[in-house]
Amino acid sequence: MPETTTQVLEINLISAQGLKPQSFNLRRMQTYAVTWVDQHTKLRTQVDKLGGENPTWNDKFLFRVTSKFLASETSAVSVAIYSVGCFKDHLIGTVRFLISNIFLPEETVAAP
């Protein structure tokens, strides 16, 4: 059986909107996002210090994934957003989206 081929999955994490700030934090919310396709490889954006509840990161992430990962109906990209705290960063929220909802397998793409 041939080896599983790998491809690069590129994620461009642009921004978030309408984040709810912690009630105990009196200063402008500063946020960053962490994204991953598996628990062992997490990548992080820079901290947005100006956007507050509507941060913009515009960071690009590259993950090496297998063709099997891209073809699976359960494969997903996860994103967690954190607010920078004085002693500890606070989780604002998470989102997980399925690759199958955004990626068409090569067999279903119509030829030009």
CATH number of the domain that residue 30 is part of:
2.60.40.150
pLDDT of residue 5: 86
Q: Provide the residue range defining the domain that includes 42.
A: 6-107
The pLDDT tens digits of the residues spanning 75-102 come to 999 999 999 988 899 999 999 999 888 7
pLDDT of residue 26: 66
pLDDT of residue 24: 62
Alpha-carbon gap, residue 18 to 79, rounded angstroms: 16
Number of domains in the chain: 1
Alpha-carbon gap, residue 43 to 63, rounded angstroms: 9
pLDDT of residue 23: 67
pLDDT of residue 1: 44
Does residue 1 lie within any of the structural domains?
no
Alpha-carbon gap, residue 56 to 5, rounded angstroms: 34
Does residue 31 lie within any of the structural domains?
yes
Does residue 112 lie within any of the structural domains?
no
The pLDDT tens digits of the residues spanning 36-61 come to 999 899 999 999 999 999 999 999 99
Most distant CA pair in the chain, distance: 59
Helix residue spans in 1-111 (DSSP H): 67-71
Does residue 79 lie within any of the structural domains?
yes
Residue 31 clears pLDDT 60, i.e. is over it: yes
Residue 3 clears pLDDT 60, i.e. is over it: no
Mean pLDDT, the chain, rounded, equals 86
Alpha-carbon gap, residue 83 to 28, rounded angstroms: 10
